[in-house]
Amino acid sequence: MRFLFPQFLFAFFAVAIPILIHLFNFRKFKKVYFSNVKFLKEIEIQTSSSKNVQRLLVLIARILAIVFLVFAFAKPFIPAKDSGANAGNQVVSVFIDNSYSMETVNKEGTLLDEAKRRAKEIASAYSLNDKFQLLTNNFEGKHQRLLNFEDFNSAVDEVKISSLSRTLPQIIRRQKDVFTSEPNSRKTAYIISDFQNNLLGKEKARSDSGITLRLVRLEANQLANVSVDSVWFTSPIHKPNETERLVVRLRNNSDKKAESIPVKLTINNQQKALASLTIEPRGTNSDTLSFSGLGAGWQQGQIQITDYPVVFDDDFYFTFNVKQSLPVLAISEKAFNPYLQAVYRSDPFFKLNTTDVGSINYSGLSSYPLIIMNEIGEISSGLSQQLKSYVSNGGNLMIFPTLTADLTSLTQLLQSLGTDIPQGIVQQEAKVTSINIRHPLFADVFERIPQKLDLPVAKKYLNYSNQSRTTRQAVLDFAGGKSFFSQYKLGKGNVYLSAVPLNDEASNFVRHSVFVPIMYNAALLSLHDKRLYYTLGRDQFLETEKTTMPANQTFTLRKGSFEIIPDVQQTENSTRLYVADQIREDGNYSLLKGNTPVSEFAFNDNRSESDLTYADNAALKTALAGFKTDILNARKASIKNEVKSANDGTQLWKICLILALLFLAAEILLIRFYKGAGPKLSISR
């Protein structure tokens, strides 16, 4: 036990006052004469003994009353377990959760307002010489410096709702960083939050027994909430004036059924579709919205729902690009192939470019989603290396072999691409016996499957090894599982490998009904749909098509009057933009090259804040195992005294004051009501 004001212990000398009163009885006695002293003597002995007991009890009561009164003024306490010699030199880190969930309300107002009030109460429980850190989800550089009491309170007043959210391990790591500058101080970290389940994170915080961790849980009223969970297109292909189908998924984050939630789709600020969804408790529901009438270029989309009172997750932004055309490159020893011309020139959406093997522009290969190689006899090592890099970075390569030249260079190319390799030319007729109708190349091709499907016939073909270690996915096969046309994966791209060239001499493939959908869909599937949206606080890199930038220009990411200059990293097939945490507001942003629009990006708030379910105390202590963790009672009007008690230990002065009053009352009762044993008189006749 220790004393907050030990100087008051000198008042123990006051105990001598009742002792002196007891030793020297200054009361004056009145003489009373009796006729028989025999009876008088017996009465005096009985009365004196009773009076001595009473006076002794009164003396003890007076002494104890003075002792406990002195203790009360000295303020005794039992020190806290973690209080040490450096208790007067303290560093306090206070994290205020300012994520969207703190916009919910209780009887005190919004949770953020209550969190700011609690932070000030915590600071007021410390001395003016202690240092404070204020931390929020923003993780700004200014939050890594220590403040005095007044600056801390001013900084608390400036805290506003943020679109960012952090996990407990991230928060604690940030708090530990500021403690490293004060190694000899007593370290206490506070986290003021509603402690949503998503705050726990997937990883565990690294334990540190040198830090006292105190949690202040704020409780909001129970609210229902429906959020826009995600959106996606049924097809990655966007063509001008074609019908688009967008799937919208809503999530019900409450235990109550959500009925008839209105959904509105706008594209470029023009309303395109309406819907209404009913969602089961804790469930999801999706709807497909169809719209058309789009021109070529970038499109800015927005999904809106009506759901009060939690509204931060009612808007969802996305962007996509409607291509004016799709370029296809055909490489062959002959500059012209009538069958490729017939397929791709019939649709103005496709732009077929042809080149011979000696005139390839290697630097421009990445601009073609699909490259077709037809009957190339000699493939140089440089071209093989360029094609491998092209496919690995997301390109799509279709190979139709020659049956009249040496297969050595083709074998080397296919080995580098990780496909099956040629074993020889078969000079006898063979019919395709199997078709993989579930392959994406045949999507929406067959309304129904005919019982006797007519399939291509090869007069001569290239026989490939059937290696088990490849990523082969069959499209068309001969009998026995021999490949006629197959797909292989390599990196981010695909390789389509045929057993016959594009001519009439080898097969009837170029005149068969399956040829057109295979070539058509292979080109369309080569379009890689750019990400529709990014998430604030989680996605820091953006990716767009490779765009060169002159030395005197910069990229600018702009929304309205807000703009930033991102860091740029050029890769072989794309341009990457690093935005870090510079973007903090959801919406659609335009990427400008000088003043010329290049691309569009959409940012949405993190939907983890939409789930208004909270971790219980047991889950929090499990997640924070290894820390000295206390959970403060935020239901009290003020937590200042609780913080002081946690800092200084158990206060005993109130008990001492009560005991002093009890002993004073005991003294009064003894003086007034204690009579002792009555006198015994014996009278003889």
**What DSSP letter does each residue of 532-601 carry, written as one string?**
S-EETTT--EEEEE-----TT--EEEEETTEEE--EEEE-SSEEEEE-TT---S-EEEEEEETTEEEEEE
Fill in the DSSP letter of residue 510: G
Residue 207 has pLDDT above 80, yes or no: no
pLDDT for position 612: 84
Exposure of 31 by Cβ count < 10 A (0-12 exposed, 13-18 middle, 19+ buried)? exposed
pLDDT for position 30: 61
Residue at which a domain ends, from 525, 543, 575: 525
DSSP element (H, E) containing 660: helix 653-673
Average pLDDT score over the chain: 85
Q: 141 with 186, same domain? A: yes
Counting other chains too, the contacts that 409-414 makes at CB distance below 8 Å and 24 or more residues apart are 409/377, 409/378, 409/379, 409/380, 409/384, 410/376, 410/379, 412/379, 412/381, 412/384, 413/379, 413/384, 413/387, 414/497
pLDDT tens-digit readout, 654-666: 888 888 888 888 8
pLDDT for position 28: 52
Q: 385 with 501, same domain? A: yes
pLDDT for position 278: 93
Is residue 360 one of the residues assigned to a domain? Answer: yes
The tokens for 380 are: 């140089």
Give 237 or 156, the one with higher predicted confidence: 156
pLDDT for position 82: 54
Mean pLDDT of 271-297: 93
Q: 357 with 285, same domain? A: no
Q: 232 with 189, same domain? A: no
pLDDT for position 535: 92
Residue 603 has pLDDT above 90, yes or no: yes
Residue 144 CA to residue 159 CA, distance in Å, equals 15
pLDDT for position 557: 93
Give 513 or 3, the one with higher predicted confidence: 513
Residue 223 has pLDDT above 90, yes or no: no
Mean pLDDT of 114-126: 92
Q: 565 with 617, same domain? A: no
Residue 682 has pLDDT above 50, yes or no: no
Task: Report helix angle 111-124 to 640-648, nearest 10.
Answer: 40
Is residue 680 one of the residues assigned to a domain? Answer: no
Task: Report helix angle 653-673 to 37-74, nearest 10.
Answer: 170
pLDDT tens-digit readout, 447-501: 776 667 789 999 999 999 988 778 999 999 999 889 999 999 999 899 999 999 9
Residue at which a domain ends, from 505, 525, 545: 525
Mean pLDDT of 382-409: 91
- pLDDT category of residue 415 using cuts at 50, 70 and 90: very high
Residue 390 CA to residue 491 CA, distance in Å, equals 10
Q: How far is CA 47 from CA 25, 39, 44, in A?
A: 16, 13, 5
Mean pLDDT of 317-328: 93
Is residue 205 one of the residues assigned to a domain? Answer: yes
Is residue 678 one of the residues assigned to a domain? Answer: no
Fill in the DSSP letter of residue 226: E
pLDDT tens-digit readout, 148-167: 999 999 999 999 998 888 89
Q: How far is CA 237 from CA 185, 348, 370, 607, in A?
A: 61, 15, 14, 27
Q: 282 with 428, same domain? A: no
The model carries a pTM of 0.73
pLDDT for position 229: 94
- pLDDT category of residue 263 using cuts at 50, 70 and 90: very high
Closest by CA position to 226, among listed 195, 253, 201, 193: 253
Is residue 138 one of the residues assigned to a domain? Answer: yes
pLDDT for position 353: 92
- pLDDT category of residue 315 using cuts at 50, 70 and 90: very high
Residue 683 has pLDDT above 70, yes or no: no
- pLDDT category of residue 680 using cuts at 50, 70 and 90: very low
Q: Which of 276-280, 318-322, 650-654 has the lowest mean pLDDT?
A: 650-654
pLDDT for position 81: 59
Give 301 or 636, the one with higher predicted confidence: 301
pLDDT for position 85: 43
Residue at which a domain ends, from 468, 494, 525: 525
Q: 458 with 408, same domain? A: yes
The tokens for 66 are: 């003075």
Q: 236 with 291, same domain? A: yes
Q: By residue range, what is the domain housing residue 638?
A: 90-222+612-648
Is residue 679 one of the residues assigned to a domain? Answer: no
Mean pLDDT of 305-311: 85
Q: 661 with 644, same domain? A: no
The tokens for 208 are: 């540190």
pLDDT tens-digit readout, 16-42: 887 877 777 655 556 666 666 555 555
Q: 235 with 210, same domain? A: no
Q: 521 with 551, same domain? A: no
Is residue 346 one of the residues assigned to a domain? Answer: no
pLDDT for position 204: 77
Residue 329 has pLDDT above 90, yes or no: yes
Residue 343 has pLDDT above 50, yes or no: yes
CATH of the domain at 217: 3.40.50.410
Q: 462 with 318, same domain? A: no
Is residue 189 one of the residues assigned to a domain? Answer: yes
CATH of the domain at 447: 3.40.50.880
Give 275 or 345, the one with higher predicted confidence: 275
Residue 650 has pLDDT above 80, yes or no: no
Report how many domains make up the chain.
5
DSSP element (H, E) containing 179: helix 168-179
pLDDT for position 25: 61
One-letter amino acid for residue 660 of the chain: A
- Percentage with pLDDT > 90 across the chain: 41
pLDDT for position 464: 93
Residue 9 has pLDDT above 90, yes or no: no
